[in-house]
Amino acid sequence: MGKVKQAIQEVEEEVVSLVSDIPRSLVYVQKRLPELLKDNPYANDKELVKNCFNKAVWERDNDEPYPTEDEIYKRYVYPLDKGEVWGSWNGFTTKWKN
């Protein structure tokens, strides 16, 4: 495994360990992570930490792996036939037939 991949995986694992025990905020994780991973430059990457945080919280709260883009497409886009339409009205998303 390359050094970059290994460093990113280290960040992901540390975020999961911080979030899994006690619910913590993103700001806390972004401040604490550089202290824990001093030699890892990716610990300061706010966008990477935010993505890892969102994934860890999803997996903790839903007891299932975070869906990939393909799974999201298959789950929400592909099953629609021509007569079904997804729409939003007053903040509520619904499905109706044309």
Place of tokens 């799974």: 71
**Domain membership of residue 94 as a residue range:** 74-98
pLDDT tens digits, one per residue of 22-81: 888 999 999 999 999 999 999 999 999 999 999 999 888 887 888 787 777 776 666 555
Residues 47, 27 within the same domain: yes
Output the pTM of the full model: 0.68
Q: How far apart are CA 42 and CA 45, in angstroms?
A: 5
Residues 7, 44 within the same domain: yes
How many domains does the chain fold into?
2
